[in-house]
Amino acid sequence: MTPLAASRDDEIVDALRRVPDPCSIGQGRPMSIYDLGLVCDWELRDDVVSVRMCVTSPICGMAPHFLRQAREELERIPGIREARCHVDAAVFWTPERMSAEGSERLRAQRARTMAQRGQRPVAGRPDAPATFTGPTSRPAHQ
């Protein structure tokens, strides 16, 4: 890869990192579509970039919003005339698709939330919300 191509890839990553996943905002854990792992790949031909993405759920209603935002951010890059972004329904999202930075950020956010709630993780499962011990938000049964 030439330095120019690497630089252009960095610009594309930076642009995609400026696009938040709407559902992560709704959950109080804002994360970019890039760090969440919704960006599968891209191809740059001349002044047109095509980006293939996936969604976290087949019934995602927010895809049109982040696709539009991604196009707008990508078209702000000097030298990119057009950005084409689409969801590839054949790609299934899993947490393993997240970037290292995104995974670490989510782990840290979960740890802070657990600490605020007085919870602690079960040994060997520091990031698994279903295995928390300690106080819960459910009402106690008598």
In eight-state DSSP terms, residue 133 is B
pLDDT tens-digit profile of 9-54? 999 999 999 999 998 888 888 999 999 999 999 999 999 999 999 9
In eight-state DSSP terms, residue 71 is H
Please report whether residue 105 resides in a domain: yes
What's the whole-model pTM score? 0.77
Q: Which domain holds residue 55?
A: 3-119
Please report whether residue 62 resides in a domain: yes
Q: What is the pLDDT, as a whole number, of residue 35?
A: 96
Average pLDDT, the chain: 84
Q: Is 53 exposed, middle or buried (0-12, 13-18, 19+ CB in 10 A)?
A: buried
Q: What is the CATH number of the domain that holds 86?
A: 3.30.300.130
Domain total of the chain = 1
Locate the DSSP E strands across 10-100.
39-45, 48-53, 82-87
Please report whether residue 134 resides in a domain: no
Picking from 95, 137, 138, the residue whose alpha carbon sits closest to that of residue 116 is: 137
pLDDT tens-digit profile of 70-113? 999 999 999 999 999 999 999 999 999 999 999 898 888 888 88
In eight-state DSSP terms, residue 100 is H
pLDDT band for position 122 (cuts 50, 70, 90): low
Rounded Cα–Cα distance for residues 112 and 126 (Å): 12
Please report whether residue 135 resides in a domain: no
Residue 52 DSSP SS3? strand
The answer to whether the CB of 75 falls within 8 A of the CB of 82 is yes
Rounded Cα–Cα distance for residues 66 and 85 (Å): 9
